[in-house]
Chain A
Amino acid sequence: MNAQIRRMTVLVVLMFLALLAGVTWIQYAKAAELKARPDNTRSYYQSFDHDRGPIIVASGQVIASSTEVDDDYGYQRQYANGPLYAPVTGYFTVLPSSTGIEWAENQVLEGTADSLFWSRIQDLVTGKEPMGGAVELTIDPVAQQAAWDALGDQKGSVVVLDAKTGEILVLVSKPSYDPNLLAAHSRDDILSAYEQMEQDPDNPLYNRAIAGNLYFPGSTFKLITAAAALESGNYTADSELEAPAELDLPNSDHKLTNFGDSSCSSTGTMTMAQALTVSCNTAFGQLGMDLGQDALNAQAEKFGFGQDLAVPLTVTPSQFPQGMSIANTAMAAIGQYEVKVTPLQMAMVASAIVNDGRLMEPHLVRTERDANLSVIATTSANELGRPISAETASTLHDMMVAVAVNGTAQRAAVDGVTVGAKTGTAQKDADHAPDVWTVGFAESGGRSLAIAVVVEDGGSAGAGGTGGTVAAPIVSTVLKAVLNR
């Protein structure tokens, strides 16, 4: 019988080989696929049931953290000062749709990022509970709060960039929401809170700084038109532009007029620098038609229009329309028609101007750290491109300083600081007051900052609001906060 028993031994070994192969197939080859299945509540609980790392702002202040609780999820995510930082942190929810840094830096916060491999190995050896890593942001909490307060009850957004590094120092969107409500552990609570936020006519869930519905840039777009003109080599700051009281638009009944139907110049012509200072629509409308839509579009793209960008939150690309009539090109040149931008995009334009034509890649994450807060990755300054030459940048710089000193943006000034700015008052439709803008920069003590402020519907001033009266003072307040003045 021994021969048969040996054959049965072979059979037993084969059965076990099948089992070994089976479990290897499931636990090795198929594991990722199984984990990714939407109905896999395990991965879903798993992501909660461990110590998710904190999100920290520049001064070491913790704005998102996890505390242990006694329920199915194990840990509760908490947001200190939730609404203030909501457009940055986003929310970490038990519904499968986290947003913001919680979404973009999930692997670090969860502790599953490749960069945390060694600390996971250490935890494995020491038997320590695996903990998520920390994410340190570039946000300046004092300036963030100042921007939040300066906007007050108005809807809108403030973005401040460090022009030399691309660090995003301020990213405010108002009205905001409380991410704590969406981090609740009851699905019903979350859903009802979410529904309420989503149905709110003020759209608190929009991240107005980088996404949302985008804004008409209005006259702030004249910076790009001027840049295109200077880059063409045919214009200087002193080039005389035609500046009629009314500009006839070809093949159109529409006439382009200036703010308050005023005439920019008694002579009918003015230099480009003067035109920018008083924000002359007819001069820039004509300039836009002369340059042509292709030149405008090319310049806008160099500044980042139409480009995908992750900071690491996904930024909605700003739009410059294609295939326009000449009349519409004139409108687009002054930031109307279908030109749509994010405040971040306009801050990027200002940052290239103040940084000698170099556009730095905006980013929110300063460092990624392991659970012991040792730095595992630092975001380095990265040049996205050179949309304008250093000369053009210098010319525009001086033109913008003039706007802040003599022109429409005088209220953006900060004592003892070189401030340049450009205002905008973007018409939307008959029912709404215009969205008002100020885009600018400040130089002080070796630092170069770029800022964009937009206030919707004329802000508290309503239909009478302009960029110079409503948005410019916010620029001044925020710059003071950043520069500690």
Chain B
Amino acid sequence: MATVLPATPRRGRWAELFLLLIALVLAFMAYAQVALAATGSLPADMTAYCGGFTGLVVAAHIVLRWRAPYADPVILPMAVVLNGMGLAMIYRLSLRYEATGSGNASIASRQLIWTIVGVVGAVVTVVLVRDHRTLRRYTYTCMILGLLGLVAPLVPKLGTAAYGARIWIHFGPLHFQPAELSKILLTIFFAGYLVANRDAMALAGPRVLGLQLPRFRDLGPIALAWLVSLGVLVFERDLGTSLLFFGLFVVMLYVATDRPSWIVIGLLAFAGGVAAAYKLFSHVQARFQIWLDPFNPEVLGRNPGGSGQLVQGLYGLGNGGLFGTGWGRGRPDLTPLAFSDFIVTSLGEELGLTGLLAVLVCYLILAERGLRTAIGIRDGFGKLLATGLAFALAFQVFVVVGGVTRIIPLTGLTTPFLAYGGSSLLSNWIIVALLLRVSDGARRPPPATSEIDLTPIIASEQERRAAAKVADGEATQVVRLS
């Protein structure tokens, strides 16, 4: 008698542990080298740092074994190594600032605390969100909270402006960039909203010039997103966030509906908005001038709003060359905000082109794993959520690294995991947690045959909507009715 044994799928937890150890060793070596270059001896807190960081990461690993045993094994190590490199560079800069009094030396200890908060936040997210589909219940709650987060910095007394952008809010001593969390909340909202309405948005509407245009009333959400991004651009002077939200929304809309017309409409609308902003606002004009002609003495010398920071960043990259100066041996501290917006040029200076390419490839792997998760997960909400989160991460890296390398105009966005900043670290760790959660669902083997619910997944539009209300077992593919 033949018995059919279910194949045990590879969970990859041991592979994850192995990769985590490599990530930790890299982070510790960087941390040690920074202090060796600056003071000639190991950091005073080397043991505590290694022990604490290892404990934190191993704890996260154990929680994954317990709560998400099928989660993608590459995502966590990539986040750890990026976070570790960021910590080493921020520590390196803080030593320099301490020695010369030229900057805030407390950034390293704060970033360390925020790393702990971030990883704990990720663990809590994985534990609390047992199934990503539960998030869909909070679609509109997320929208409201997300939009509130975007506009909160505009509230007098609560919001503060720094470096020309009004994107911070503060409660007593705590400063927070709410847009970072809004990124997650709005991704959940987009995913929930689009999965419910995508059929209508995908199928109805006239065809013009080979493009199937949406119906006028379906333009509502994209118009709203456009207005909000423009509002962010105009009132908070935050080009980066504006670009990120709009790009994220357009991509999710396209993935949900498979209609390139959304991308065309989105690009045209964004281009129109930027063109209008360029005409109306001098700071937008200045950004373009800095982008196109940073070495022009007039642009270089202008203060504020000159290209000095960008040029210093380019000099840093040039100074690094192929192999870099080595940890602690360059002069990244000459670049303003070398620990946040320009941390990529700081790393490029000390680790060289080789090191910077490795960092970029880490991001690419992280994003690719997220997108692979999106393909693997079976429900539409999960697909959109994972696509949105992975794309947001990749797009954010593109906007900020593209900005400092003059591929696109420089806009202020934090570099995920690397840059100094609590809101950014916490929200990126939550993104990692959500991707881990979705990937656990994607890689988990289907339940044994007897447990499969044999009700048809799709029959008609009405049934599909009814099924959606149950919020379970979302359809994988939509039958096209046209």
Interface contact A34-B314, CB-CB below 8 Å: yes
Q: In angstroms, how far is the closest chain A Cβ from the Cβ of B1?
A: 39
Q: List 20 A-B contacts (CB under 8 A).
A: A1-B383, A1-B384, A6-B375, A8-B391, A11-B251, A12-B367, A23-B317, A26-B318, A26-B405, A27-B317, A27-B348, A28-B321, A31-B318, A31-B320, A34-B317, A39-B300, A42-B312, A45-B334, A127-B33, A127-B326
Q: Which residues of B from 244 to 260 have beta carbons under 8 Å from A? A: 251, 254-256, 258
Q: In angstroms, how far is the closest chain B Cβ from the Cβ of A453?
A: 48
* Cβ of B17 under 8 Å from chain A: no
Most buried by B among A1, A8, A11: A1
> For residue A19, which residue of chain B has the nearest CB?
B401
Interface contact B357-A12, CB-CB below 8 Å: no
* Cβ of A49 under 8 Å from chain B: yes
Q: In the assembly, what is the distance between CA of A25 and CA of B315, in Å? A: 13
* Cβ of A266 under 8 Å from chain B: no
Q: In the assembly, what is the distance between CA of A391 and CA of B349, in Å? A: 64
Q: Which residues of B from 319 to 372 have beta carbons under 8 Å from A? A: 319-323, 325-326, 329-331, 334, 348, 352-353, 356-357, 360-361, 363-364, 367-368, 371-372
User: At the interface, is chain B mostly helix, strand, loop or mixed?
Assistant: helix
Interface contact A34-B380, CB-CB below 8 Å: no
Interface residues in chain B, defined as those with a beta carbon under 8 Å from any beta carbon in chain A: 33, 100, 251, 254-256, 258, 295, 300, 311-312, 314-323, 325-326, 329-331, 334, 348, 352-353, 356-357, 360-361, 363-364, 367-368, 371-372, 374-375, 380, 383-384, 387, 390-391, 394-395, 397-398, 401-402, 405-407, 477
Interface contact A12-B364, CB-CB below 8 Å: yes
Interface contact B315-A27, CB-CB below 8 Å: no
Chain B residues lying within 8 Å of A298, measured Cβ to Cβ, are none
Chain B residues lying within 8 Å of A432, measured Cβ to Cβ, are none
Chain A residues lying within 8 Å of B312, measured Cβ to Cβ, are 42
> For residue A32, which residue of chain B has the nearest CB?
B318
> Which of B320, B352, B364, B402 has a CB less than 8 Å from the CB of A13?
B364
- Contact code string A1-27 (vs B, CB < 8 Å = 1, else 0): 111111011011101101110111111
Q: Which residues of A from 25 to 69 have beta carbons under 8 Å from B? A: 25-28, 30-35, 37, 39-43, 45-46, 49
> For residue A124, which residue of chain B has the nearest CB?
B323
Chain A residues lying within 8 Å of B322, measured Cβ to Cβ, are 27-28, 31
User: At the interface, is chain A mostly helix, strand, loop or mixed?
Assistant: helix
The 6 closest A-B pairs by CB, nearest first: A34-B318, A22-B405, A27-B353, A4-B255, A15-B398, A31-B318
Chain B residues lying within 8 Å of A6, measured Cβ to Cβ, are 375
Interface contact A4-B258, CB-CB below 8 Å: yes
* Cβ of A72 under 8 Å from chain B: yes
Q: In angstroms, how far is the closest chain B Cβ from the Cβ of A42?
A: 5
Q: In angstroms, how far is the closest chain B Cβ from the Cβ of A70?
A: 8
Chain B residues lying within 8 Å of A30, measured Cβ to Cβ, are 318
Chain A residues lying within 8 Å of B315, measured Cβ to Cβ, are 34-35, 37, 40-43
Chain A residues lying within 8 Å of B258, measured Cβ to Cβ, are 1, 3-4
Chain A residues lying within 8 Å of B395, measured Cβ to Cβ, are 15
Instruction: Count residues of A near B (Cβ-Cβ below 8 Å).
Output: 42
Chain A residues lying within 8 Å of B348, measured Cβ to Cβ, are 23, 27
Q: In the assembly, what is the distance between CA of A124 and CA of B311, in Å? A: 28
Q: In the assembly, what is the distance between CA of A246 and CA of B433, in Å? A: 106
Q: In angstroms, how far is the closest chain A Cβ from the Cβ of B369?
A: 11
Q: In the assembly, what is the distance between CA of A43 and CA of B322, in Å? A: 15
Q: In the assembly, what is the distance between CA of A26 and CA of B310, in Å? A: 13
Chain A residues lying within 8 Å of B320, measured Cβ to Cβ, are 27, 31
Q: In the assembly, what is the distance between CA of A4 and CA of B255, in Å? A: 5
A19 with B397, Cβ < 8 A, contacts A1-B258, A4-B255, A27-B321 known: yes
Q: In angstroms, how far is the closest chain A Cβ from the Cβ of B388?
A: 10
> For residue B257, which residue of chain A has the nearest CB?
A4
Interface contact B321-A31, CB-CB below 8 Å: yes
Chain A residues lying within 8 Å of B367, measured Cβ to Cβ, are 12, 16
